[in-house]
Copies of this chain bind each other. A is one copy, B any other.
Amino acid sequence: MNVSMVDRHNSQSQHRVVIVGGGFGGLYAAQALGRAPVEVKVIDKRNFHLFQPLLYQVATGTVSPADISSPLRLVLRKNQNTQVLLDEVVDIDPDEKKVILPDGEMPYDTLAIATGVSHHYFGNDHWKNYAPGLKTIEDALEMRRRIFAAFEAAEKESNPQRRQAWLTFVIAGGGPTGVELAGAIAEIAHGALKKDFRTIDTTAAKIILIEGLDRILPPYSPDLSARAQADLEKLGVTIRTQTLVTNVAENAVTVRHENQEEVIPTETILWAAGVKASPLGKVIHERTGAELDRAGRVIVEPDLSLANYPDIFVIGDLANFPHQGDRPLPGVAPVAMQEGQYFAKLIRKRLQGDTVAPFRYVDYGSLAVIGQNSAVVDLGFVKLTGVIAWLAWVFAHIYYLIEFDNKLTVMLQWGWNYFTRGRGARLITGEDSLGKIAQRMKSGYYDAEKPTEQVEVR
C-alpha cells in the first residue's frame, strides 16, 4: 500500500478525499467515488455544476442559466459519503496535507484539484471591460446583455455610422466557442429579431469572426474547417483568418492582417480566444514545485499526480497532460470527465493495495455547432457535416445533460425554439441594464458634428 494512503488522523476512520472544483473533472471524480470506502468533500465557489459547452446558448438568449446548471448538492445527494461545501480554496499545504480556506482549513489524505481555466487577454487585462469572455454564467449574461442591448441602441440611433457600429459584432477567436457564438448571433439577426424592429434592418448586422491561424476550428481537419466556414458564411458571418486582434477599445477593435492594421468600429466585442489557468495553478507550483506550461496549467505525471506528491492530483482543464500524442490533451469536457473517472479508479485501487496503468484519453471525436441545422463532427473514422452532424451534436449534449439532472426542459426549449425561431430568454438584465447603454450613447465619443473617420469594413 502506498505510504501516502496511510491515515495519519486517528479521529478519522476513513480515507479523506478532497476535490476542489465541481466542473466536469471534479464532478465525475466525485460521482465515481460515490460507493468507495472514502469520505469525499467537494469544494466549489459555486453551488452548481455548469454545463459549459452550452454556455453560448445562454449568451445568445436560447436557454436560461438554470437550464444548463445542476445544483451540486442535487447531483451528489445520493452519495452519502460525500459532502458539498460552498467555499474557496486559496492555498494548499502539501506537507501538512490540508487545503486553506478563507476562514479555515481542511485536512485531506488525497487531494484532487480541478479548478479549470478562465479566459486570457494575452497580457491586456483591461480589454476585458470591452470584450467579455465566456466561462461563467455571469459572463454569459453579460454577453447576452450586450448583444441584445446593441440592437436596442441601434433602433434608437439616427446617425448611420453609429448605428452600424451598434450593428457590428466582432468575435475574437475561431475555436468552437467563437464559431458557435458567431453562428448564433447571425441567426438572431437574420431570424428571431427580423420582425421585431421598426427603424433598423437587423439583417444588415455585420458579424465578424477573427482567427489568427489560417482557418477556423484549427484542431479539426481542414475539410471540416472549410465546411464550417462555408456554413457560417451562408448564415451571414464574415470570417477573417490570419488576422490578429492588436487592440480592443470601448467602441472599436483594431486588427492586423498581413502587416496591415485596420480599425473596425463596433460596440460589441466578444472574446473567445485564449485561456489561462485558474490561480490555484500558481499556488500548486509554489507549494510543490510542479512545472507549469505557458498558460499556467500544471504539468502532471502519467497518473495525473504531481511529481513529488503522489497524493495530490490535478485533473481537467487545469492539468497539462503531455504523455499522449505530440501535443498536450485539449481542454475539453470529455478529457476532464475521463480524468475524473481515472482519478476515482486509482484511489479505489490504491486503497486495495493495487496500482493502475497510466491515464489514457480515449477520443470519441469532437464536434462544434454552427447553426440550427448545421454542425461539424469529427469522429475520427467518419466526419459528419450539416443536419446529420447537428442532430449528432444535439443528442450528444442532451445525453450528458440528462445524465445529471433530467433537463427535459432544455430539450423542449430547443424544440420550441427550433420551430418558432424565437428567443425567449433574450432578457437584458442586471442592475444597470439601461444605464450603460444610455451612458455610452450620451458619452460623446461619437460626436455627430465631428464625424468619425470613414473606415472600410470588409
Q: Is A431 an interface residue (CB 8 A)?
A: yes
Chain B residue contacts of A196, Cβ below 8 A: 71, 73-74, 77, 84
Known: A74-B196, A85-B155, A416-B408. A45 touches B427 (CB 8 A): no
Most chain B beta-carbon neighbours within 10 Å: one of A193, A409, A438: A409
**Minimum distance in angstroms from A398 CB to a CB of chain B:** 15
Listed stretches A62-70, A218-226, A303-311, A368-376; interface member: A62-70
Listed stretches A114-122, A173-181, A338-346, A418-426; interface member: A418-426
Known: A47-B148, A103-B442. A429 touches B156 (CB 8 A): no
C-alpha gap A88/B195 in the complex (Å): 23
Find out whether the CB atom of A71 lies under 8 angstroms from the CB atom of B416: no
**Minimum distance in angstroms from A69 CB to a CB of chain B:** 5
Quick one: closest B residue to A442, CB to CB?
A: B103
Chain B residue contacts of A73, Cβ below 8 A: 193, 196-197
**Minimum distance in angstroms from A137 CB to a CB of chain B:** 5
Chain B residue contacts of A405, Cβ below 8 A: 424
Tell me which residues from 108 to 148 in chain A have a Cβ below 8 Å from any Cβ of chain B.
137-138, 141, 148
Q: Is A388 an interface residue (CB 8 A)?
A: no
**Minimum distance in angstroms from A410 CB to a CB of chain B:** 9
C-alpha gap A428/B198 in the complex (Å): 38
Known: A64-B65, A86-B434, A138-B431. A152 touches B47 (CB 8 A): yes
Counting contact residues on chain A (CB < 8 A from B), the size range is 35 or more
**Minimum distance in angstroms from A203 CB to a CB of chain B:** 15
Find out whether the CB atom of A47 lies under 8 angstroms from the CB atom of B427: yes
Chain B residue contacts of A412, Cβ below 8 A: 408-409, 412
C-alpha gap A426/B65 in the complex (Å): 10
Q: Is A433 an interface residue (CB 8 A)?
A: yes
Find out whether the CB atom of A102 lies under 8 angstroms from the CB atom of B442: yes
Chain B residue contacts of A70, Cβ below 8 A: 424
C-alpha gap A77/B455 in the complex (Å): 34
Find out whether the CB atom of A86 lies under 8 angstroms from the CB atom of B424: no
Our pick among B46, B65, B408, B427 for the contact of A48 (Cβ within 8 Å) is B427
**Minimum distance in angstroms from A267 CB to a CB of chain B:** 14
Known: A66-B424, A152-B47, A428-B86. A195 touches B434 (CB 8 A): no
C-alpha gap A315/B393 in the complex (Å): 49
C-alpha gap A86/B196 in the complex (Å): 13
**Minimum distance in angstroms from A257 CB to a CB of chain B:** 35
Find out whether the CB atom of B137 lies under 8 angstroms from the CB atom of A47: no
Find out whether the CB atom of A69 lies under 8 angstroms from the CB atom of B427: yes
Q: Is A396 an interface residue (CB 8 A)?
A: no
Q: Is A430 an interface residue (CB 8 A)?
A: yes
Q: Is A164 an interface residue (CB 8 A)?
A: no
Find out whether the CB atom of B409 lies under 8 angstroms from the CB atom of A88: no
Known: A64-B65, A438-B88. A198 touches B83 (CB 8 A): yes
Q: Is A413 an interface residue (CB 8 A)?
A: yes
C-alpha gap A77/B191 in the complex (Å): 13
Q: Is A100 an interface residue (CB 8 A)?
A: no
17 A-B pairs (CB sep. < 8 Å): A46-B434, A47-B149, A64-B65, A64-B67, A64-B425, A66-B425, A77-B195, A83-B155, A83-B198, A85-B155, A86-B153, A87-B434, A103-B438, A137-B427, A138-B431, A141-B429, A408-B412
